[in-house]
Amino acid sequence: MARWEPNASERLAVAALELFAERGYENTTVVEIAERAGLTKSTFFRHFPDKREVLFGGDTMSNLVDKGIAAAPDGATPLEAVAHALDTIGREAFRADRREFGARRRAVIAANPELREREALKGLRLIDSMIEALTRRGVPALAASVAAELGALAWSIAYERWSDPANHEEFGDLASRTLDEVRATTASLA
């Protein structure tokens, strides 16, 4: 039972989203999600600690943020390093073939208070990941916090734009332009 399943995490997320939309989050069990994905309950719990987490990818996003900031060029400013992380996420997670999934995922989360609560917590964790990765590049604590908050704001606006079915741009391009808008607005405020 402990064999490695290719894309198990993604299959579980797609199955969960289908079931949540069909019968509601409350009326769906982990066993049913695993069955729909053709996997076992124990495989589910190797990937996610609980039912809520299945739409949030476990540590995937935190790891991508970490990798993206670490891989930014040496002379990159804190906001350039954050832009590099957003670009990494666009290439490795929010690909064009995931856009429709993203739109349905947003609708399911918006309809459920427990999922909205988990989303809020994941947002804070992503900000923490950005802060830690920026700190490892030598960015001072407060500058790392500010850059991470602005990056998270750009991320959330860009994700909303990207998961709109009428949109055809790549996430990385949208995120880069959104971060530029956030930066310009910030400069006018500060």
Contact residues for a second copy, defined by CB under 8 A: 77-79, 116-118, 120-121, 123-124, 142-143, 145-147, 149-150, 152-153, 157, 181-190
Closest to a second copy by CB, 7 vs 185, is: 185
Minimum distance from residue 45 beta carbon to a second copy (Å): 17
Minimum distance from residue 95 beta carbon to a second copy (Å): 27
Closest to a second copy by CB, 166 vs 189, is: 189
Minimum distance from residue 78 beta carbon to a second copy (Å): 6
Minimum distance from residue 181 beta carbon to a second copy (Å): 6
Closest to a second copy by CB, 5 vs 80, is: 80
Token pair, residue 94, equals 């929010």
Closest to a second copy by CB, 50 vs 173, is: 50
Q: Measured between alpha carbons, how far is 156 from 149 in angstroms, rounded to an integer? A: 11
Q: SS3 letters for the chain?
A: CCCCCCCHHHHHHHHHHHHHHHHCCCCCCHHHHHHHCCCCHHHHHHHCCCHHHHHCCCCHHHHHHHHHHHCCCCCCCHHHHHHHHHHHHHHHCCCHHHHHHHHHHHHHHHCCHHHHHHHHHHHHHHHHHHHHHHHHCCCCHHHHHHHHHHHHHHHHHHHHHHCCCCCCCCHHHHHHHHHHHHHHHHHHHC
Closest to a second copy by CB, 63 vs 186, is: 186
Minimum distance from residue 98 beta carbon to a second copy (Å): 24
